[in-house]
Chain A
Amino acid sequence: MRKQRVRDRAAPPTLERPGVAWAVPGLLFFLVFAVAPMVGVLYLSFTHWDGLNPPQFTGMENWSRFFGDSQVWQSTVVTGALLIGNIVVQAPVSILLGVWAAGPQRNRAVLSALFFLPLLLSTAATAVMWRQLLDPNFGLPSKFEWLFGSDPMGTQQGAIACLVLVTTWQFVPFHSLLYQGAARAIPHTLYQAASIDGAGRVRQFVHITLPQLRNTMITSTIFMVVGGLTAFDIVLLLTNGGPGTDTSILPFSMYQTAFRTYDYGYASAIASFLLLLATAASVLLTKLSGYDKMTSTMEGL
């Protein structure tokens, strides 16, 4: 009898599956407010527009200027340098902090609460705070010159270092939370087995903890990359792209060209380039992380 029932229920009723209609509202919304502007940026990059008069089609003019513009190349390099600097500094600190915070000791909970504090401030608030704190005459550098140097934002290296410092200060608490959550989920049995085998703390960390954190490392890196490509307010408030144009990352360069030089067409070319880089980054990251395979991480556990 049972076998018969199973055969009767051969095809699952199609009502069970949500159809296209479920995705349509969100899709439309995304199209209007995200995809359409992306198309718009590409379109505008072929025009000359000053914000007051209607845009005029100028063909490849912006793009030929773009490919000969050393400033664009410099902006890309600076964007990359900041991105790498941030990842190199933040990843180790976040992992170590996160794993440490996942431990059971009491004092760790108290300190963790303290370490959470920077997250209370928005990125703009942090940038404003550090703008004051980094004043060479009345801020921290005046008392700690051995650490900050006398003119922290007057050189390119100094300015980049300051940006990395502020970003690290702001975001390590966030990333370490990611690692903390993941580290807590690592089964103790793994560590116990390793202890019995005679593995010391460092070996346990390298051979157990790190591999288990792989997924988190990917997620964390994705956030850092996205953050690096959009970090605009920090640059605006702290260095204004300076000294000169030394910290003019691509988003800032685009903003400057658009809203301070009123050359929206050329700015759109820069923006299109930024879009291209970001899409490439998206594709790369999703391939690396295997997110597009849509398999659950719980399977097989």
Chain B
Amino acid sequence: MNSVSRRWFLTATAATTLSVTVAGCGSSGSSTSSPTGNVDFWTLQDPTNSVQKAAVDTFNSAGKGKVSMTVIATDGYKDKLRTAMGSAKMPGVFFSWGGGSLNDYVTAGKLVTLDTALESHFLPSALAAGKVGGKLVGIPCRGTQPVFLFYNKKLFADAGVQPPTTYAELQNLVKVFKGKGITPFALAGNASSSWTELMWVEYLVDRLAGPKLFDKIQGGDWSQWKDPAILKTAQMIKELVDSGAFGKKFGSVNYGAGGTSTLLNKGKAAMVLMGSWEYATQLAEAPDFAKNGLGYVAFPSVEGGKGDAANVVGNPTNYLSVTTSAAKQTATDFLQTTYSDSYVQGLVEKGEVPVTSNAAQYLTKAADPAYAKFQYDLVQKAPSFTQSWDQALGLTLGTPLLTEIQKLFNGQSSPEQFVSAVLAIKK
């Protein structure tokens, strides 16, 4: 080999490498499809999938276009969605939590603005998180999911106590159950389930300072984390943890897999703060307990707090959005199923409380009318319904926030450190 061919070879190698890299880093174009083509529908895995499938099947048989439904498990749904939205294979219609999670997609021009005529079919408060910058980009497709306290009725009866209505009562209950060797609150403290710890923070902040504080943060004013209510919340949480409210093992407990739900129905924990879907989870895991032993009550008030004790935190609902790669006509027609009678009825049968304007009449026929009415009243009477913070903020801010919350609960950060760490997330 002489030096010329050596140089040639090295140059060729470098050129290949560079061109492949550059070609790879270019943005990919999305294909446009005919208006009445097929639509790829992505949804989260959960008990209501059968209702969605029924709606899809009915739609497909009506012959106005074809929708194919892909169910994706919770762990990684958002990652997968994000990856797909950046690739050449965007889904046509997808399920999301609205709010911050849709922001990025709207900014990147990937979503189709929906017809405002659809709005009349839903409760106004539920539509809020489906709008970005005033434009409707998502319509409700599920029931509302407020967060509240679930408790084991038998354990309470045995201890002779009532579920708490004030924070002081809550602290007392911690002592009572601790004395009986029962973990007062089940908590999934493992790093993959930090969103369960987030719920505590959300409620305490809301009770102390009202919903406006987080509103401002969501609106972009990150310095609001300096508000004394945040520090007080962190201190209250430290007190709770130190007083043994969550037991000593919560750092290794997961949500789901033999975790918090099992602790509750096996009587090892007395209460758990969770979203309304806990009912369906218990129904699948321990049907007897779900029907007879599961109690529920709103999160207690906090003395001296500015927030209304009727405020609610959670997922207002979930939304369906349409992307620019979808067959427009098919997708729009498909969206109409979300307020069809059969769909709403199906949701109610699964224990959901839909937020459509025609929902009320079906609630009496729910599998557990008392539970349905409880949720509906809770949401209807709530002066405000704050969306889960990690959904509202979007993952870029939400993921580090969850990590900091985890550290607070684990005792790795002091309340002061928590505040400064959260402030440091966004410069």
Return the contact of A52 from the options B13, B108, B406 (Cβ within 8 A): B108
Contact string against A for B residues 234-255, beta-carbon threshold 8 Å, 1 for contact and 0 otherwise? 0000000000000011111110
**B interface residue count range (under 10 / 10 to 19 / 20 to 34 / 35 or more):** 35 or more
Is B410 close to A, CB under 8 A? yes
User: Is B396 a contact partner of A242 (Cβ separation < 8 A)?
Assistant: no
CA distance A152 to B104 in the complex (A): 38
A-B contact count (CB 8 A): 135
CA distance A28 to B20 in the complex (A): 11
Q: Which of A4-12, A130-138, A208-216 lines the interface with chain B?
A: A130-138
Distance (whole angstroms) from the CB of A146 to the closest CB of chain B: 15
Q: Which B residues lie within 8 Å of A242 (CB)?
A: 190-192, 194, 251, 406, 410
With A52-B86, A52-B108: A155-B20 Cβ-Cβ less than 8 Å: no
CA distance A43 to B21 in the complex (A): 9
Return the contact of B249 from the options A35, A136, A240 (Cβ within 8 A): A136
Is B399 close to A, CB under 8 A? yes
User: Is A244 a contact partner of B254 (Cβ separation < 8 A)?
Assistant: no
Distance (whole angstroms) from the CB of B76 to the closest CB of chain A: 9
With A132-B257, A240-B191, A242-B191: A36-B82 Cβ-Cβ less than 8 Å: no
Instruction: Give the contacts of B176-214 with A (CB-CB under 8 A).
Output: 189-192, 194
User: Is B21 a contact partner of A31 (Cβ separation < 8 A)?
Assistant: no
Q: Which B residues lie within 8 Å of A233 (CB)?
A: none
Q: Which A residues lie within 8 Å of B399 (CB)?
A: 256, 260-261
Return the contact of B253 from the options A37, A39, A135, A256 (Cβ within 8 A): A135
A44: nearest chain-B partner, CB-CB: B25
Q: Which B residues lie within 8 Å of A152 (CB)?
A: 252
With A32-B16, A135-B252: A241-B191 Cβ-Cβ less than 8 Å: yes
A236: nearest chain-B partner, CB-CB: B192
Q: Which of B34-42, B46-54, B113-121, B258-266 lines the interface with chain A?
A: B258-266
Q: Which B residues lie within 8 Å of A262 (CB)?
A: 82, 104, 395-396
User: Is A239 a contact partner of B396 (Cβ separation < 8 A)?
Assistant: no
Contact string against B for A residues 221-252, beta-carbon threshold 8 Å, 1 for contact and 0 otherwise? 00000000000000000011111111000000
Distance (whole angstroms) from the CB of A203 to the closest CB of chain B: 45
Is A290 close to B, CB under 8 A? no
With A243-B412, A262-B82: A154-B104 Cβ-Cβ less than 8 Å: no
CA distance A36 to B192 in the complex (A): 33
Distance (whole angstroms) from the CB of B284 to the closest CB of chain A: 17
Is B27 close to A, CB under 8 A? yes
With A39-B18, A136-B249, A152-B252: A54-B258 Cβ-Cβ less than 8 Å: no
A246: nearest chain-B partner, CB-CB: B412
User: Is B395 a contact partner of A240 (Cβ separation < 8 A)?
Assistant: no
User: Is A239 a contact partner of B190 (Cβ separation < 8 A)?
Assistant: yes
Is A103 close to B, CB under 8 A? no
Return the contact of B192 from the options A136, A138, A155, A240 (Cβ within 8 A): A240
Contact string against B for A residues 32-71, beta-carbon threshold 8 Å, 1 for contact and 0 otherwise? 1001110110011000001111110000000000000000
Return the contact of B410 from the options A150, A244, A256 (Cβ within 8 A): A244
Distance (whole angstroms) from the CB of A18 to the closest CB of chain B: 14
CA distance A31 to B189 in the complex (A): 44
User: Is A154 a contact partner of B251 (Cβ separation < 8 A)?
Assistant: yes
Contact string against A for B residues 364-404, beta-carbon threshold 8 Å, 1 for contact and 0 otherwise? 00000000000000000000000000000001100110010
**Chain A interface helix/strand/loop/mixed:** loop
Is A144 close to B, CB under 8 A? no
**Chain B interface helix/strand/loop/mixed:** helix
Is A153 close to B, CB under 8 A? yes
User: Is B190 a contact partner of A153 (Cβ separation < 8 A)?
Assistant: yes
B251: nearest chain-A partner, CB-CB: A154
Q: Which B residues lie within 8 Å of A55 (CB)?
A: 25
Is B63 close to A, CB under 8 A? no
Instruction: Give the contacts of B1-38 with A (CB-CB under 8 A).
Output: 1, 9, 13, 16-18, 20-21, 24-27
CA distance A259 to B20 in the complex (A): 23
Q: Interface size of A by Cβ–Cβ distance < 8 Å?
A: 46
CA distance A51 to B248 in the complex (A): 40
Q: Which A residues lie within 8 Å of B24 (CB)?
A: 36-37, 40
Is B79 close to A, CB under 8 A? yes
User: Is B252 a contact partner of A244 (Cβ separation < 8 A)?
Assistant: no
CA distance A37 to B412 in the complex (A): 37
Is B85 close to A, CB under 8 A? yes
User: Is A39 a contact partner of B251 (Cβ separation < 8 A)?
Assistant: no
Q: Which B residues lie within 8 Å of A150 (CB)?
A: 248-249
Is B306 close to A, CB under 8 A? no
Distance (whole angstroms) from the CB of A153 to the closest CB of chain B: 4
CA distance A50 to B83 in the complex (A): 10
User: Is B25 a contact partner of A36 (Cβ separation < 8 A)?
Assistant: no
Q: Which B residues lie within 8 Å of A246 (CB)?
A: 412
CA distance A168 to B293 in the complex (A): 43
User: Is A243 a contact partner of B406 (Cβ separation < 8 A)?
Assistant: yes
User: Is B83 a contact partner of A243 (Cβ separation < 8 A)?
Assistant: no
Is B232 close to A, CB under 8 A? no
Instruction: Give the contacts of B75-107 with A (CB-CB under 8 A).
Output: 78-79, 82-83, 85-86, 104-105, 107
Question: Besides the contacts A151-B249, A261-B395, A263-B396, what 18 more A-B pairs have beta carbons closer than 8 Å?
Answer: A32-B16, A36-B21, A50-B396, A52-B104, A54-B26, A131-B257, A135-B253, A138-B258, A150-B249, A154-B252, A242-B192, A242-B410, A243-B189, A243-B191, A244-B191, A246-B412, A259-B83, A262-B396
A-B contact pairs, 30 of them (CB 8 A): A20-B1, A20-B9, A28-B16, A31-B13, A32-B16, A35-B17, A36-B17, A36-B21, A40-B24, A43-B25, A50-B104, A51-B82, A52-B86, A52-B104, A52-B110, A131-B254, A135-B257, A137-B263, A137-B268, A138-B262, A139-B258, A141-B252, A150-B248, A154-B249, A239-B190, A242-B251, A243-B189, A243-B410, A259-B83, A262-B104
**Chain A interface (Cβ < 8 Å from any Cβ of B):** 20, 28, 31-32, 35-37, 39-40, 43-44, 50-55, 131-132, 134-139, 141, 150-155, 239-246, 256, 259-263
**Chain B interface (Cβ < 8 Å from any Cβ of A):** 1, 9, 13, 16-18, 20-21, 24-27, 78-79, 82-83, 85-86, 104-105, 107-108, 110, 189-192, 194, 248-254, 257-259, 262-263, 268, 395-396, 399-400, 403, 406-407, 410, 412-413
The 5 closest A-B CB pairs, nearest first, are A242-B191, A154-B251, A240-B192, A52-B108, A240-B191
